[in-house]
Structure 1
C-alpha cells in the first residue's frame, strides 16, 4: 500500500499528468496492482500474492534506476535525480517488500516445516500440546 501511496504522491495524486503516456500508465498499473496485492496479502497470503508482491517491489525499483540513469524514451524529468527524497524512500520500501517476498517464497511452508521437523526427530505437536499452551 505504501508503494501505491508514494507513487500517487509523486504524480500529484489523481492529476494523471505524467508524460509520456506510458509512464502514466505504468504508475496507474503499479498503484492498482499494489493495492490488490496488499489486499491479497492481508486476506490470503499465498504464493500468488507473494509473487505479485515481489513484482510490486521490483518493477518500480527498475523504473527508478532506468529513469535516473540512462533515461526512458521521451522521459527526462528524473534523469540524474538520484537523491530525490521521495524516490529514496520509495527505493527503501520497494527493496524491503521485494526481500520480504523472496523470504516468503523461499521459506518452507508451515506443514512442510513440521514434516521436516518430525523427520529430524522432533516430537510431533499433539492436540494435548495445543490445549496446554
Structure 2
C-alpha cells in the first residue's frame, strides 16, 4: 500500500491523491527530519564545548520536527515559510561559524569541509528549494 499527501490534508493511502505538491510535502518533511538528525549527532560535542549552542540545537531540532509534522498534516503557506526561515537561519549560522566564529566557538573558522557541516549545507539548501517550489504550487492552486 502506498501513501501520498494532498494539499491541506494529512497522509492518505493510495495513489489517487498524489500531486506535485504532495511530492514537495514529502521532500521537505523528510529533509527536516535529516536536519534534526544532523544536529542530534553534533549535539553532544556542543553540550561540552559551547552550552548556548547546544540549547540552540535543541530548539532547532524541536522546530524541525514541529514544522515537519505540520507539513505532513497539510502543509499551509506558513509551514513552508517556516521551513525556509529555519533553513536560511541554519545556513547563515554555518557561514558565520566558518568565517568569524560564534562567541566562545572559534574552532570551526575556516573548517568548510567538515562532513556534518557539508551535509547540513546540502540539506538546508534542498529544503529552501523544495519549500519555495511548494509555495509556488500553493500560490498557483489559490489563483486557479
TM-score range, shorter chain: 0.7 to 0.9
8 Å contact 2:100–2:106 — kept in the other structure?
no
CA contact (8 A) 1:11 1:18 kept: no
Q: Which residue of 2 aligns with 1:109?
A: 140
Q: Does 1:74 find its partner at 2:104?
A: yes
After TM superposition, the score normalised by the length of structure 2 is: 0.70
Q: Does 1:9 align with 2:41?
A: yes
Aligned residues: 111
Higher relative contact order (CA 8 A, sep 6+): 2
C-alpha displacement of 1:109 = 3.5
Match of 1:120 in 2: none
1:41–1:49 Cα contact (<8 Å) kept: yes
Larger radius of gyration: 1
Structure 2 spans left out of the alignment, 5+ residues:
1-32
Q: Is the aligned partner of 1:47 residue 2:43?
A: no
Identify the range of structure 1 (30-39 vs 48-57) with the bigger mean alpha-carbon deviation. Answer: 48-57
- Could you state the TM-score of these two structures normalised by the residue count of structure 1? 0.75
Q: Measured at CA, do residues 18 and 7 of structure 1 come closer, stay the same or move farther in structure 2, by a change above 3 Å?
A: farther
Alpha-carbon distance, 1:20 to partner: 2.9
Shift of 1:16: 6.3
Q: Tell me by how many angstroms 1:56 deviates.
A: 2.2
